[in-house]
């Protein structure tokens, strides 16, 4: 039990089980300090939420005093209001008292052990991410890494509130633990993780947080959908064999029922003659349709193909997600429509490969999340559905999600509500504050006012093994912060400004064939990109004398051009040859005498007796 001189105040007035008032006896008590109150369950942790000073100076007396007059002796007392956090039972579970505190009980300062035990600051250097110090105390705050990655994270703040800085601290900690990450870097801020922090002002604060300058260049790899430049690699997406439903999900312009029908039918017919196909092949197939609905489909497919990020293979997910590696997808300079498609398709590929176990568990960080998963009524995005799926199902498969935004009201509430760990910095917009209170568990209306008053660099953190929201002073970064505001004026003079505008690369050339050219002496090798129907068409057409080559793909191309010249339906034209091949023109022992095309068949007239083609 504490000694009498440990007391900092006495509970008075009407007392409940979740809150109480106490006098402050000459101690330097500040708002948000932690105190311990005696209860029959033991000492209970509480937090000071408000402090007031009461005096006997009346308004009339104050108004009568002259500005240069001497003030009389003013008697005053300080009172504090505390909100009860709770205590741990024998099972280690956080409990709230069910009976009121006793008036007259003495309040004492809470020890660090009690604070750590009740709040749940169990994680340490070995298995935790060091985010900073508990506000007002020299008590390190570690967040459980398993909880962070498995149960999703949201980092919210106003512009300049420090969200990217806090996210950079989190990334540094995960890099130390070799956790794989993929960062959607909208503004190109995270490449700075490869450089040590040389800011003199921040270096002075490093001793306070017990950190030193560092860099993680060996673990960072940059990618860009605009092409490779310097150390940044070119990010491409797999554009081969896209299904109709996948294409529909990537289109900004929604297709009507007839247009969807044209797309499905065109892909179905094309797949009968090609094992491998690109978006350009789909466009050509749709163009052969007789439906007037094809024009909008062609325009939408052309727009999708023109962004220039689809290739025959694409950057594999196994390259992006490796233990100890952080892949930064640098979107700086990319138009919004390209960013949207890249996030949608990349997220799907990563999610599918994680479900199948091709890549290890990892964390996907999405900066400026309001652009990629907007709330209904604030715009649309083709990546919204995929990010919602990851938010709701990613935990089961080991794919964590971290959304970072400066406009919480514009982010899909379904995604924010799925985030168990919340790092909230200063927010002042009323709509954003309302969205946070409604979407984040554990926050109350009283928190509404506190979030507005948070100093820059202080965050309200909840989740990740922490039982209640706590205020944390975010530690100084070890690496350079790439999201600093640009200085417009320095010492009264404009700063030198050198524009750094990335150049759009030329679109990659589209090969005429989807397979590498091979010598004609190996016709079997060309069948990698054709179906059995295409092989049949090649055999029949060559025997009829319509073509002289052994390449089924080239045969399909020539016959397609001939059918279009004759204004015939291409696929019906090709199917007629398939039927001949299956019924009469077999690869061995063809029944030429019964074939309706035998009169003009060069195969039959070139020496049928030698082949026994007239035998009955």
CATH code: domain of residue 67: 2.40.30
Task: Compute CA distances 37 → 3, 99, 100, 590, whole Å.
Answer: 14, 13, 11, 98
Please report the sign of the dihedral spanned by the C-alpha atoms of residue 421, residue 427, residue 431, residue 434: positive
Give me 46's structure tokens.
């509480």
Same domain (yes/no): 148, 250:
no
Tally of structural domains, the chain:
4
Same domain (yes/no): 442, 362:
yes
Asked whether residue 503 is domain-assigned, the answer is no
Least confident of 366-370, 454-458, 522-526, 530-534: 522-526
Q: Which of 80, 100, 118 is the last residue of a domain?
A: 118
User: Alpha helices of 401-461 — where are they, by DSSP H?
Assistant: 413-417, 430-439, 445-453
pLDDT of residue 445: 67
Give me 440's structure tokens.
């984040």
Give me 195's structure tokens.
């450089």
Q: Which of 85, 118, 151 is the last residue of a domain?
A: 118
Asked whether residue 358 is domain-assigned, the answer is yes
pLDDT of residue 616: 40
- Rounded distance, CA 172 to CA 178, Å? 10
Same domain (yes/no): 152, 221:
yes
Residue 516 has pLDDT above 50, yes or no: no
Average pLDDT, the chain: 84
Give the number of other Cβ atoms within 10 Å of residue 270's Cβ: 18
Banded pLDDT at 322 (limits 50, 70, 90): very high
Same domain (yes/no): 48, 164:
no
CA 18 distance to own-chain centroid: 38
Same domain (yes/no): 352, 456:
yes
CATH code of the domain in which 560 resides: 1.10.1670.10
Q: Which of 77, 93, 118 is the last residue of a domain?
A: 118
Residue 358 has pLDDT above 50, yes or no: yes
Residue linked to tokens 């652009």: 371
Same domain (yes/no): 113, 139:
no
pLDDT of residue 231: 86
Contact 476, 209 (CB under 8 A): yes
CATH code of the domain in which 377 resides: 3.40.50.300
Same domain (yes/no): 437, 561:
no
Asked whether residue 493 is domain-assigned, the answer is no
Task: Compute CA distances 190 → 184, 193, 332, 367, 483, whole Å.
Answer: 9, 6, 11, 10, 8
Q: Where are the beta strands (DSSP E) in 349-405?
A: 362-366, 399-405
CA 117 distance to own-chain centroid: 33
Asked whether residue 509 is domain-assigned, the answer is no
pLDDT of residue 343: 94
Give me 178's structure tokens.
């070799």
Same domain (yes/no): 222, 340:
yes
Give me 518's structure tokens.
């091979």
Asked whether residue 513 is domain-assigned, the answer is no
Asked whether residue 224 is domain-assigned, the answer is yes
Same domain (yes/no): 339, 217:
yes
pLDDT single digits (tens) 404-420: 999 988 999 889 988 88
- Rounded distance, CA 238 to CA 223, Å? 15
Asked whether residue 480 is domain-assigned, the answer is yes
Q: Residues 6 or more apart from 269 whose CB is under 8 A from it?
A: 285, 571
Same domain (yes/no): 203, 321:
yes
Residue 518 has pLDDT above 50, yes or no: no
Same domain (yes/no): 112, 152:
no
pTM: 0.80
pLDDT of residue 329: 95
> What does the radius of gyration of the chain's CA atoms come to, in whole angstroms?
35
Percent composition of the chain: helix, strand, coil (DSSP 3-state, to 5): 35, 20, 45
Half-sphere exposure of 314 (CA within 13 A, CB side): 18
Give me 226's structure tokens.
């605009």
Same domain (yes/no): 256, 204:
no
Asked whether residue 428 is domain-assigned, the answer is yes
Quote the domain boundaries for residue 280. 244-306
What letter would DSSP give residue 538? Answer: H
């Amino acid at each position: 039990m504490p000694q009498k001189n440990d007391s900092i105040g006495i509970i008075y007035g009407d007392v409940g089980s979740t809150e109480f008032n106490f006098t402050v006896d000459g101690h330097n008590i500040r708002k948000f300090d932690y105190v311990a109150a005696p209860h029959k369950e033991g000492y209970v942790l509480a937090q000071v939420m408000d402090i007031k000073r009461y005096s006997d100076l009346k308004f009339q007396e104050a108004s009568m005093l002259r500005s240069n007059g001497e003030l009389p002796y003013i008697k005053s007392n300080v009172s504090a209001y505390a909100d009860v956090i709770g205590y741990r039972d024998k099972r280690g579970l956080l409990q709230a008292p069910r009976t009121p505190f006793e008036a007259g009980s003495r309040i004492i300062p809470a020890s660090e052990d009690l604070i750590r035990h009740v709040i749940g600051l169990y994680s340490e250097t070995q298995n935790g991410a060091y985010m900073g110090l508990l506000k007002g105390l020299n008590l390190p705050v570690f967040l459980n890494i398993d909880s962070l990655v498995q149960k999703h994270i949201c980092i919210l703040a106003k512009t300049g509130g420090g969200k990217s800085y806090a996210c950079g601290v989190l990334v540094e900690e995960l890099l130390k633990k070799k956790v794989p990450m993929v960062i959607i870097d909208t503004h190109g801020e995270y490449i700075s993780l490869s450089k040590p922090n040389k800011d003199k002002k921040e270096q002075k604060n490093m001793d306070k947080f017990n950190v030193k300058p560092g860099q993680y260049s060996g673990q960072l790899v940059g990618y860009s959908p605009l092409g490779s430049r310097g150390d940044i690699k070119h990010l491409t997406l797999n554009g081969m064999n896209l299904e109709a439903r996948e294409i529909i999900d990537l289109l900004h312009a929604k297709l009507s029922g007839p247009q969807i029908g044209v797309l499905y039918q065109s892909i179905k017919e094309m797949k009968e003659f090609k094992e491998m196909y690109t978006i350009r092949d789909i466009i050509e197939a749709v163009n052969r349709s007789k439906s007037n609905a094809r024009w909008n489909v062609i325009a939408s497919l052309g727009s999708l193909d023109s962004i220039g990020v689809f290739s025959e293979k694409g950057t594999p997910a196994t390259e992006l997600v490796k233990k100890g590696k952080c892949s930064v997808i640098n979107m700086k300079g990319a138009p919004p429509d390209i960013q949207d498609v890249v996030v949608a398709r990349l997220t799907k590929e990563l999610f599918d490969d994680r479900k199948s176990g091709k890549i290890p568990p990892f964390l996907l960080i999405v900066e400026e999340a309001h652009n990629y998963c907007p709330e209904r009524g604030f715009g649309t995005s083709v990546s919204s559905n995929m990010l919602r799926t990851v938010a709701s199902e990613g935990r089961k498969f080991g794919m964590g999600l971290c959304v970072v935004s400066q406009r919480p009201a514009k982010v899909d509430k379904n995604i924010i509500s799925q985030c168990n760990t919340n790092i909230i910095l200063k927010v002042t917009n009323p709509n954003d504050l309302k969205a946070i209170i409604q979407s984040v568990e554990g926050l109350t209306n009283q928190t509404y006012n506190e979030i507005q008053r948070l100093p820059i660099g202080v965050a309200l953190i909840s989740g990740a093994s922490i039982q209640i929201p706590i205020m944390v002073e975010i530690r100084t970064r070890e690496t350079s912060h790439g999201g600093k505001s640009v200085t417009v004026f320095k010492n009264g003079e404009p700063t030198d400004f050198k524009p750094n505008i990335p150049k759009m690369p030329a679109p990659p050339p589209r090969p005429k064939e989807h397979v590498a050219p091979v010598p004609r002496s190996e016709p079997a090798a060309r069948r990698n990109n054709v179906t059995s129907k295409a092989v049949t068409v090649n055999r029949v057409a060559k025997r009829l004398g319509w073509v002289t080559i052994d390449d089924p793909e080239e045969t399909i191309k020539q016959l397609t051009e001939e059918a279009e010249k004759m204004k015939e339906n291409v696929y019906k034209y090709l199917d007629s040859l398939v039927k001949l091949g299956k019924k009469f023109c077999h690869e061995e022992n063809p029944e030429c005498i019964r074939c309706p095309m035998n009169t003009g068949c060069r195969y039959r007239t070139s020496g049928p007796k030698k082949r026994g083609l007239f035998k009955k």
